[in-house]
A = this chain, B = another copy of it.
Amino acid sequence: MKSTYYTVVRGYELDSFGHLNNAVYLNYAEQAKWEFLNENKLLETVQEYGLFPVIMENNIRYMHEFRLLDKVRIETDWSCTRSILHFTHTFFNDFTGLKSCRITGKLMFADINRMIFDIPDELYDFIQEEKH
């Protein structure tokens, strides 16, 4: 299962070196997840179950910097077990085509009381189906 998210580098996301701060890549990665859920009507599902995604791991390799107003394309690969959602975000500079960053990681779903739940069926099926 794949998804794509686009954004533009904002001035306040730069650091004093004039490039995108290393933590902001995780902000973009998070938003790519929300947009993926939303576009596929799965955000409502997750919210109806009273669940929140909880990140367990993020592994980030920075390859090329981003600068002010660069257009960022994030290609995401999704896979899952019953309880864990695995993601790989590959960041490209959409102006130059350069691969700029890769983030691999995993997340689980918890309710407001911090109880861990299986991935909602609708989301699980959606990701599994797309594999075929």
Contacts and interface: CB of A to CB of B under 8 A. Distances in A.
Contacts of A15: 11-12, 14-16
Interface residues of A, number: 37
Interface string A14-25: 111110011110
Contact of A12 (B10, B18, B27, B56): B27
Given A18-B112, A58-B58, A59-B59, 6 more contacts: A11-B15, A17-B112, A22-B55, A56-B61, A57-B59, A59-B60
Interface of A: 10-12, 14-18, 21-24, 26-27, 30-31, 33-35, 38, 43, 52, 54-62, 65, 68-69, 110, 112, 114
